[in-house]
Chain A
Amino acid sequence: MVGKGQALNRLSSPDELEGIRKSIIKQRDPNKPCITICGGTGCLALRGESVIAAFKQKIKRQGVETKVDVRITGCPGFCERGPLVVIKPQNIFYQRIRVEDVPEIISETVLRDNIIDRLLYTDPNTGQKVIYEHEVSFYKKQKRLIIGNNELIDPTIIDDYLAVGGYAALSKVLFRMSPEEVIEEVKKSSLRGRGGGGFPTGIKWETCRKARGDIKYLICNCDEGDPGAFMDRSLMEGNPHSVLEGMIIGAYAIGCHEGYIYVRNEYPLAVKNAGIAIRQAEEYGLLGKDILGSGFDFSIRISRGGGAFVCGESSALMASLEGKPGEARAKYVHTVERGLWDKPTNLNNVETWANVPLIINQGADWYTKIGTPNSKGTKIFSLVGKVNNTGLVEVPMGITLREVIFDIGGGIPGGKEFKAVQTGGPSGGVIPESLLDLPVDFDELTKAGSMMGSGGMIVMDENNCMVDIAKYFLTFLEEESCGKCVPCREGVKRMREILTDITEGRGKDGDIELLERLSAVIIDSSLCALGGTAPNPVLTTIGYFRDEYEAHIRDKRCPAGVCKALISYHIVDEKCPGCRLCEKACPTRAITFVEKRKPVILDQEKCIKCGICYDVCNLDAITVK
C-alpha cells in the first residue's frame, strides 16, 4: 500500500489506473478487523485526537498491528455523538469514545468480538441500544451517496479513494466521452448548484464552454459561511479527491486548464487535506500535465480566503481571489463569460463538484430517479439547533422536513415543542410547524419564503424567540455586508436597529411596516444576493409569527422568554425549598436565602436576567415571565 510521504508511480493510461486499483483492493482483506475513527473537525474538537493516539499506541503495545487496521476517516456526519468509532467489518457503532475506553475496545470487541454495551448508542425515542451503524435511526433514512464515502477512506491516502472506485469517472470521461457528451450527461442529470443559487450545472458549463476566450478558469467554492453549516467543510476534509475528480471532469468538459479551490482559512484541515490530495493526484498523474496519458492538462491551486461571508458570492470570491477586496460586482455580464481576471470562469461549490463523478459513473438516468421533478439527487444538510441528533445528513430531494427533523434528527430534546426550522442560512427564512410536511427541494423552500441555500438547517423550539432569531441573523448580515451598495450597507443595519429596539422594549407601532418597507427596497435594489435575501429572516418571522412581534411591541412581552429587557425571573414559592443552589450561582447576589424550607427571595433590582438560577434549579421553582 502506498501511504503518506511515499512517492507514487505516475499512471499514464486507464489500464494502469485499473491495474493499480486492483492491486490495492487485492492487498486488503475485507474480513480483517478495522477500527475506523472519525478524524473530522467535530470529533477532533471532542478530543478525538487523543482517542486516535490512544488507539495507535495501544495496538502497538498489545502487539496486534498485524491483526487490526486503524483508519482515520472523514466525518460520517453524526457529530452529536462524537468521537465516533466503527469496528469493521461488522460495523459496530461506538459513540462518545474517551481515551479510557480504548483498551477495552481493542481487547474486547476487536480481539474477542464482544460488544461493549455502555459505548453503544441509545435511541432517544425508543430507549433501545443500537449495535450496528446502519441501524442507527440517524443514518437509516439517509441516502448517503456523497458523504457515505467519508467514513470509508482516509482522506490523506489517495489509495483509499481508488479502492472505492475513485477516478474511474475521470478515466471514463477522458477516454470514452467527448466534452460535449459530458456536458450533455450533466445537463440530463438536472444537477443544480448546491451552493445556494440552484442554477443548473450543465447549462452553466455549456455557457462557459461556449464563452469566447482562450483562457478559462474553474473554481471550487469552499467558502462556506453560513453559521452552523459545515457540509462543504466535511466533504473537503473527508473526501477531497471526490471534489478534485469532479473539478477535473468539469475542466475537461468546459476546456479549462487552470483551477482554484477557494477555501476559507478557518478550515485548516480542509486546506491541509485538499493540499495533500492535490499533491497525491499530481504524483499519480491524475492532475497536472497529460492526465492519465490523455493529453489533457489541468492544474489546481488552493487560494485561502479570509472568511468574509460575502466571498461565497461568486463575483466577490473572484475579486478576493484576484487579491482585491471581496466585493460583489454587477453580474449583468455573467462570470461564466467574464469572471476571474475577466476570463470566462466556471464556479461551483464543493458539493456540486462531488456529485459529478457519481453522475458520470452511474449515469444521468440513474441519478434522475432520485429526487423531485425539479430537484434531482441528494442534498447534504447540517442539522443543528434544538434537535437530538445534530450532524450532517444527506437525504434525497423531496424528503419532508418532518422526516429530517423527527426521524433522522430524533426530534426535539427535553420533550420541548418544535417551533420552527430555519433553512438556507442567514439569507434563508424560518418555516413553521404547519409547513413541516413540505418536501425539501429548491422550489418548495423558496415558495415558503425560505431557500435551500447551501444546506443549513437550524431547528428551534418553544424557547426560541422569533424576533431574537431575526435579530441574530440580521446582526450577522450587518457585520458581513461588504458595504458597497447603500440598501444592504445601511438598510440591513437599520433593520437590525429596529429589531434591537423591539427586543429591548422600545418597539413602537409602525415598526413592522417600516421593516417591511425597508425589506422591499433592500430586496429589490441590492447589488448582490447577500442584500437581496437579507430581509428573509425578518419577513418570514413576521409572516409566520407576527403575534410574537406584536407581543414585543404592544405588550412589551417576549412570549418565548428570551429577550432580557422584556422578561423577569420569579421564584415559585410553593416549589422552592430554599436549597440555596440558585443563591450560590447568582453572580449579582440578587437571591437572598431566608431559612431552610422557606423560599428564597429574588431582588429584581439586582437581577441581570442571566438565567443561571433558572438553569441550576432542579425543581422548576424559578419561572420566566
Chain B
Amino acid sequence: MNEITLAINDRQVKGKEGDTVLEICQANGIDVPTLCHHEGLSDVGACRMCVVEIEKERSPVPACTYLARDGLVVKTNTEQLERYRRQILELIFTEHNHFCMFCEQSEDCELQKLAYRYQMDNVRYPYTFPSLPVDALSDYLVIDHNRCILCGRCIRACSEVAASHTLDFSQRGWKALVSADLEQPLGESSCTSCGACVQACPTGAIFSKLNLYKGKTDECQQIKTVCPACGVGCELNVLVKDNNLVRIEAPSLTEPRGPLCRMGRFRLLEPTPPRITSPLVRGKQGELEECSLDKAVQVIVERLAEAKDGFAGMISTRVPNETLSLFNKFIGEVVGSDSIDTRDGESYRIISEGIRLFQNNGRGLDIECPIEDILEADCIIVVGADPEKTNPIISTLVRRAVSQRKAKLIVIDSSRDVFPLWTDLWLKPRAGSEGVLLNGLAKILIDKGLVGPGKAQAELIQSLSQYETGEVSRTTGIENERLELAAEMYGWAEHGVIIYGEGLLQGNDASSITTILNLANITGNQVEGELRVISLKPCANSRGAWELGLAKGIKQDKPKGLYLLLADERESEELLSWLKGIDFLVVQTSYYSSVTSLANVVLPSPIWAEREGKYVTTDGRVLELKQVLQPKDGLPQDQEILIEISKKLGHRLS
C-alpha cells in the first residue's frame, strides 16, 4: 500500500492508500464524531455526524466512507460543520424517545456523549414522542425501539459478524424499525442470541437482560481471558465491578474467534445453582454435613489407606492444564491407580484411533486444521455435528463462509438439518450408516477422478471396492444422484472443510473418522501436513486434557471408588447413572447437584472466573485463562486441595 499525505486541519498527516479519511483522522488523533461507524463493521455513511469539508468537493462528505487520496485538504472542525452536527443531533433527539434518566445505557451511550460534547441545552424542534414497541420476549435480549437511532450498526453486526442475517429494517423513512426476520419477535426469530448487536448498539436500544444496572464501563475493571464455554477458545473481555461479573464483551468483532456467542457472552452470567462453600462429608444419618477441609481430607485418606484397589479418577476438561497435570500425578502417584479418564475421554479414544488407522506415523490431533480455515472454504461438510448447539462460533464461521464466500454447505445428519436456512444439500442417512455414506463418497470421488494425483492408493481403492454407489444408496437410503452431487460439490471445491462432532462418535466407529481424513487427503485438502478437517471437542480444554494423556480410560466397568473432579461442569443424566453404585465417591465441584447427593465426600471447587491456567483450544492453540474474580468466600483452588490430600498420604506434589 502506498503511503499518502493529507492536510487535515492544516496539519500534514500520513496514511495508507485505501484508508478512509476517518481512519486516517483516528490514527492521527484527530477527533471526528461518529455514530453509525463501528470498528470492524462496514461503513454506510448514514448518520452524517462525521461529515468533513474537503477541498474541491461541493458539499461536506462523510469521513467514514470517503477514501483518502494523496494531497487531500480536509477540514474536520469548521464552524459550519459543527453547526450541522449539532443540528443532526437535534433531529435524532426529537425523532424517538431519548430520555437518559430511564436508560440503563446512560453514561455508556454514544449519543448522550455527543449531546454533551455539542452542549445541547435545548432542541429547536418539538419532540414527536412516538409510541414505539419494546420487544423483551427473547431470553437474553431486549429491543427498545424508542431508543433506536436507526444507525443500522446492529443490522450490520448481525449480517457481517454473526452472519445470522436476522435483523434488518422494516418499513422505510422515519417509519423504519429494526426488525427480526419478517417482523417477528426476537425470541421467535432466527436470532441466535450471539449479542453482537448489543455490543454494536451505540445507545440503549438493544441490550441484554443479564447486564442491566450492574455497572457502568468506567466503574469496571476490564480483564481479558479465554472463554470456558467450549473448545473454540474465544477471547473474552470481562467487565468486573466489586468482584461481580458485569458484562462480557468481545475484544474485537472482526477476529474469527471475536464475535462471541450466547454461551460466552450471556450464559456465563446466568444465575448458577447454589455454590459449595465448604467441604462436606456424609454423616451417620446419611446426610451431607459441612466440615473442615482437614476432616474431609481425613475421610478420604482413611478410605484410600484402607483399599487403593479399584480406585479411579475422573476429571472435567473445563479445568486448565495445570490442574489436569496435577490430577494426573495425584491419581497415578498418590492414589497409585492407572485408572484415569476425562469426562469426554471416550471421544478422544475414537478420534485418535481413527487418526492412527489413517496413517500410522505418530501424528495426533495436530493433523486437524485451525478453525479459521472455515472462513476460506468454498465447500463445507458438517457431519454428525450440531455446532449451533455445541460450538456456536463454528456455526457463525460456517454461515459467514456461506453468505460471504458463497461456500456450498452439505449437512450429513440422520435426524435433522442442523443449518436449515443455509444448507445446499442435506444428506439424511439411516442412523448408523454414516460410515458407509462417507466411504461411498470417497469411492465416487475416486471413480469420477476428482482426486489429487497419486492420492488414491491401491490399498484404499481396494478397501473401497465394496462401496458401490447402488449398494451405498440402499444402505443409507439416499438416492444415487444426491450422493454424486455431494461428491461433486466437495470434489470440485478448492478449499473443502469437513467438520464432525459428537454425533459421529456415538456409533463408536473409528473407521468413519479415518474415512473423513481419507476424503480430505485424496481431494488434496491438505496444507503442510494438516488436513482440512475439524473435530468439535466437547469441552473448553478437552484437547489439553487429551494431549496430557488423561483420557486413558477407566479399567473397571464400575470402580469401587472414584475421585471425580467435576469443577463447574454441570451434571448430566449419563454421568449420574454411571456414578450410581460406586461405593466411595469423592466429588470436587462448584455447585450442589444430583451428583453431590451421591457423594460420600464433597469438596469445593472454584468456577471458571476464579481459576487461572492454560487452555488448549480445539485446534491446538494455547491460551491463558485469567482469574477475573476472587474465589467465593476465600475457597481454595482445586490444586491446593489435591496437594493437601497428597501431603496427608505422604506425597509431595507440586
Contact = CB atoms under 8 A, between A and B. Distances in A.
A484 B46 contact: yes
B91 interface: yes
Nearest to A481: B173
A523 interface: yes
A486 B88 contact: yes
A366 B274 CA distance: 91
A526 interface: yes
Interface in B201-241: none
Interface in A471-505: 478-487, 489-491, 493-494, 497
Contacts of B45: 329-330, 485, 527
B636 to A, nearest CB: 57
Contact of B59 (A308, A483, A493, A525): A525
A609 to B, nearest CB: 26
A317 B59 CA distance: 23
A118 interface: no
A482 B173 contact: yes
A537 B152 CA distance: 30
Interface in A497-519: 497, 514, 517-518
A494 B91 contact: yes
B37 to A, nearest CB: 12
Given A483-B173, A486-B47, A486-B48, A333 B150 contact: no
Nearest to A325: B169
B173 A479 contact: yes
B651 to A, nearest CB: 67
A149 to B, nearest CB: 38
Contact of B150 (A308, A325, A483): A483
A489 B65 contact: no
A332 B91 CA distance: 25
A308 B172 contact: yes
B204 to A, nearest CB: 18
Given A333-B67, A514-B124, A526 B48 contact: yes
B92 interface: yes
A100 B51 CA distance: 65
Interface residues of B, number: 34
B62 interface: yes
A455 interface: no
A418 to B, nearest CB: 33
A565 B62 CA distance: 42
A16 interface: no
Given A490-B174, A494-B91, A494-B125, A527 B66 contact: no
A615 to B, nearest CB: 35
Given A325-B172, A482-B173, A521 B125 contact: no
Interface string B73-111: 000000000011001100110110000000000000000
A485 B91 CA distance: 11
Contacts of A480: 173
Given A325-B169, A330-B62, A487-B48, A521 B174 contact: no
A521 B172 contact: no
Contact of B44 (A333, A484, A520): A484
Interface string B140-176: 0000000001101000000000000000110111111
A497 to B, nearest CB: 8
B91 A481 contact: no
Given A330-B62, A486-B46, A525-B59, A491 B175 contact: no
Contacts of A527: 45-46, 48, 62
Interface in A384-436: none
Contact of A486 (B66, B92, B171): B92
A462 B252 CA distance: 63
Contacts, number: 94
A330 B51 CA distance: 12
A483 B67 contact: no
Contact of A483 (B66, B84, B88, B172): B172
Contacts of B125: 494, 497
A236 to B, nearest CB: 26
Given A478-B173, A481-B172, A491 B91 contact: yes
B61 interface: yes
A508 to B, nearest CB: 12
B59 A487 contact: no
A494 B48 CA distance: 17
- Of A330, A490, A493, A532, most buried by chain B (CB within 10 Å of CB) is A490
B310 interface: no
Contacts of A325: 168-169, 172
B60 interface: yes
Contacts of A330: 44-45, 61-62, 65-66
Nearest to A326: B172
A333 B43 CA distance: 13
Nearest to A330: B65
B48 A483 contact: no
B77 to A, nearest CB: 15
A17 B51 CA distance: 56
Contacts of A491: 91
A603 interface: no
Interface in A142-166: none
Contacts of A486: 46-48, 88, 91-92, 149
A497 B94 CA distance: 13
A290 interface: no
A135 interface: no
A493 B87 CA distance: 14
A489 B150 contact: yes
Contacts of B152: 484
Contacts of B46: 484-486, 527
A482 B174 CA distance: 8
Interface in A296-334: 308, 325, 329-330, 332-333
A119 B211 CA distance: 79
B88 A525 contact: yes
Contacts of B149: 486
A483 B87 contact: no
A485 B174 contact: no
Contacts of B48: 485-487, 525-527
B229 to A, nearest CB: 34
A532 B59 contact: yes
Contacts of A333: 67
Contact of A489 (B67, B84, B174): B174
Nearest to A329: B44
Contacts of A332: 61, 65-67
A524 B91 contact: no
A523 B80 CA distance: 13
A493 B174 contact: yes
Nearest to B54: A332
A487 B91 CA distance: 8
Nearest to A487: B48
Contact of A524 (B47, B59, B95): B59
A489 B125 CA distance: 14
A216 to B, nearest CB: 20
A524 B84 contact: yes
Interface string B575-604: 000000000000000000000000000000
B65 A525 contact: no
Contacts of A524: 51, 59-60, 84
Contacts of B175: 483
Contacts of A518: 87
Given A486-B149, A526-B48, 7 more contacts: A325-B172, A485-B45, A485-B46, A486-B48, A489-B176, A490-B91, A493-B174
7 A-B pairs closest in CB distance: A330-B65, A490-B91, A483-B173, A483-B176, A330-B45, A481-B173, A525-B48
Interface of A: 308, 325, 329-330, 332-333, 478-487, 489-491, 493-494, 497, 514, 517-518, 520-521, 523-527, 532
Interface of B: 44-48, 51, 59-62, 65-67, 83-84, 87-88, 91-92, 94-95, 124-125, 149-150, 152, 168-169, 171-176
9 contacts: A330-B62, A332-B65, A332-B66, A487-B88, A491-B91, A493-B173, A494-B94, A524-B60, A527-B48
